[in-house]
Chain A
Amino acid sequence: MSGKADHSRRNFLYVAAGGLGAVAAGATAIPFIGSMLPAADTLAAAKTEFDISTVVEGQLVVIQWQGKPVFVVNRTAEMLERVKGHDDKLKDPNSEAVEGVQAEWMDTDEKRLYRAIKPEILIVVASCTHLGCIPLFKPTAGQKDWGDSVPSDWVGGWHCPCHGSFYDLSARVMNGSPAPQNLHVMKYEYKTDTIVVIG
């Protein structure tokens, strides 16, 4: 006769089996999902070294980092002047919005203004913070070189062709742009005076 005692043993065993089975299923899922995370060699390619002495004054180069495009701009003194004085036109002049637009070393006004460790060399992710297109470099002020694509009081910077976002020469996003944030600054440091390690 199956009394209550038998069924409690049975139920315990069902629960134990079910519990262990769930643990087994979970443990099995780990390697499969884990395998989809970036592989060891992909992660090792996480850092890129670049020699900034190859960038001429006033020049922009686009390099690759983790498969993403990165702007390296050698800003002239004149360009550095043109990042000043239009804070009211910027959504986030001090790069306070999200982690990606700030950096640990942005702790002085100057650093927040130029958004670079060495003020002349700006290094930012070349991905518009709206939907990811690569913005076009339009460094000179005014509409002479760029026509209607830029506003009449254009101070120089970037213009995204996809949906029209504008950034100044420190890659800070301007009011009226669909993009929410300044172009992101990734972790980088200078290994020597001319070699920067990105990532």
Chain B
Amino acid sequence: MIDKMMNTRLFHWVDERTDLGAIIKSQLTEYPVPKNLNYMWNFGSLALLVLVLQILTGIFLVMYYKPSAELTYGGYTVAFDSVERIMRDINFGWLIRYMHAVGASAFFVVVYMHIGRGLYYGSYKSPRELLWIIGVVILLIMQGAAFFGYLLPWGQMSFWGATVITNLFGALPVLGEYLQQVLRGGFAVGDPTLNRFFSLHYLFPLLLAAIVGGHIHALHVVHSNNPDGIDIDHEKDTIPFHPYYTVKDAMGVGFFLLGYCYFVFFQPEAWGYFIEVDNFVPANNLQTPAHIAPVWYLTPWYTILRTFEDKLMGVVAMGASLGILFVLPFLDRSKVRSARYRPVYRQMVILFFISVVVLGYCGHSAPTETLAMVGTIATSVYFGFFLLLPFVHKFEKTKPLPGGE
């Protein structure tokens, strides 16, 4: 079908001036991909889809959203009123808003699965270290974008979440106070904060679009890893991306949309996980909600932060938990990539996944002594995974790789 398109005169005209044919061949129809990829490899294309959805819905929301904390009747604000206007008066505004809110959570679900694939199958190892590092940058920018975006409705959670997190920056030595003021635009979270978070929330996804381009480019140079983690024979073991992975990715999109649309149309608040109950209460700077927690996708790091009593230690630990991701490729010295053939690593990485889920659970719940202890254990497992890694290759007996390598 693409060949028929490429034989038309119109295509030739464009191709002569842009080399589009060569691009289509090198990136799609002749781009080699291992033929044994499993469904864990679908999440990259899904992540791209969700990014596009978020930008699209975001642009239409911005046509009506007003980033002002000016007070209106009933303790509300212009910003909160504009969101309610979108929900009630704008044609299909409710749909676009729900797509955006559900999409934010969907983005993290998909990206966490994508990262999990990378961890399990050793996709971060040579020659894909930089690909992984660019990915970590993407994760950080996503978290930033989500954080900025959450302030915009100016509900109780929006306001207090922003207050807590900007307070964290105050903990840093020397620069802390200054950073906090630069972020807030004042002494407390207020209208200046809202305006600049709005600007940054618009900017970050566009930055993402560019960086994702770099991520895909880096991938196309070294090509995809595969579930066995072995270097493969180009001739025998690869198939062209189009049509095989285009149709497989399309099918993945179908399944994804089933889940996504179920939430958008039937459970957009997801029992308080996607849109929190307290955020339907207008922000009140004189009253903190009984229970502050960040949105679910930021909860693991929130737990790590709370593990340490000392504020600065907490911030440092939280930063380290993200920072250590950057050096992962250099911590792991094993020559074998995939956890399928690494019995010790496999257990470690599964434990790591469990620790992240547990950290998330702790971060979402009200702090109790038991939960604090559980959180501390989970934090230790989290960091333990990375700290143990440089030594694993010394004693791990890897299984024989397929193809007699």
Give A contacts to B, CB under 8 Å.
Answer: 14, 17, 21, 30-32, 34-37, 39-42
Specify which chain A residues have a CB less than 8 angstroms from the CB of B60 in the assembled complex: 32, 35-36
Q: A31-B96, A32-B60 are in contact. Are A37 and B1 (CB under 8 A)?
A: no
Task: Tell whether B91 is near chain A: CB-to-CB under 8 Å.
Answer: yes
Task: Tell whether B174 is near chain A: CB-to-CB under 8 Å.
Answer: no
Does more than half of chain A's interface fall in helix, strand or loop, or is it mixed? helix
Given contacts A30-B92, A35-B64, 6 further A-B contacts (CB under 8 A): A32-B92, A35-B63, A35-B90, A35-B93, A39-B64, A42-B89
User: For the complex, what is the distance from the CA of A37 to the CA of B92, rounded to whole Å?
Assistant: 10
Contact B85–A34 (Cβ < 8 Å): no
Kindly report which residue of chain A lies nearest to residue B92, judged by CB atoms: A31
Contact B63–A14 (Cβ < 8 Å): no
Contact of B63 among A30, A36, A41 (CB under 8 A): A36
Contact B89–A14 (Cβ < 8 Å): no
Give chain B nearest CB distance to A197 CB in angstroms: 22
Specify which chain B residues have a CB less than 8 angstroms from the CB of A36 in the assembled complex: 60, 63
Contact A35–B88 (Cβ < 8 Å): no
Contact of B91 among A14, A17, A21, A39 (CB under 8 A): A39
Kindly report which residue of chain B lies nearest to residue A34, judged by CB atoms: B91
User: For the complex, what is the distance from the CA of A41 to the CA of B84, rounded to whole Å?
Assistant: 12
Specify which chain A residues have a CB less than 8 angstroms from the CB of B90 in the assembled complex: 35, 39-40
Specify which chain B residues have a CB less than 8 angstroms from the CB of A17 in the assembled complex: 247, 250
Interface string of B169-200 (1 = CB under 8 A from A): 00000000000000000000000000000000
Specify which chain B residues have a CB less than 8 angstroms from the CB of A32 in the assembled complex: 56, 60, 92, 96
| 28 contacts across the A-B interface (CB closer than 8 A) | A14-B1, A17-B247, A17-B250, A21-B250, A30-B92, A31-B91, A31-B95, A32-B60, A32-B96, A35-B60, A35-B64, A35-B91, A35-B92, A35-B96, A36-B63, A37-B91, A39-B64, A39-B85, A39-B89, A39-B90, A39-B91, A39-B93, A40-B88, A40-B89, A40-B90, A41-B85, A41-B89, A42-B89
User: For the complex, what is the distance from the CA of A30 to the CA of B91, rounded to whole Å?
Assistant: 10
Give chain A nearest CB distance to B75 CB in angstroms: 21
Specify which chain B residues have a CB less than 8 angstroms from the CB of A14 in the assembled complex: 1
Specify which chain A residues have a CB less than 8 angstroms from the CB of B92 in the assembled complex: 30-32, 34-35
Specify which chain A residues have a CB less than 8 angstroms from the CB of B96 in the assembled complex: 31-32, 35
User: For the complex, what is the distance from the CA of A37 to the CA of B85, rounded to whole Å?
Assistant: 14
User: For the complex, what is the distance from the CA of A32 to the CA of B91, rounded to whole Å?
Assistant: 9
Contact of A40 among B91, B95, B250 (CB under 8 A): B91
User: For the complex, what is the distance from the CA of A30 to the CA of B95, rounded to whole Å?
Assistant: 11
Specify which chain B residues have a CB less than 8 angstroms from the CB of A34 in the assembled complex: 91-92
Kindly report which residue of chain B lies nearest to residue A11, judged by CB atoms: B1
User: For the complex, what is the distance from the CA of A31 to the CA of B96, rounded to whole Å?
Assistant: 8
Interface string of B43-81 (1 = CB under 8 A from A): 000000000000010001001100000000000000000
User: For the complex, what is the distance from the CA of A39 to the CA of B247, rounded to whole Å?
Assistant: 39
Specify which chain B residues have a CB less than 8 angstroms from the CB of A21 in the assembled complex: 250
User: For the complex, what is the distance from the CA of A145 to the CA of B91, rounded to whole Å?
Assistant: 51
Most chain-A Cβ atoms within 10 A of its Cβ — which of B1, B64, B85, B92? B92
Kindly report which residue of chain A lies nearest to residue B251, judged by CB atoms: A17
User: For the complex, what is the distance from the CA of A111 to the CA of B91, rounded to whole Å?
Assistant: 39
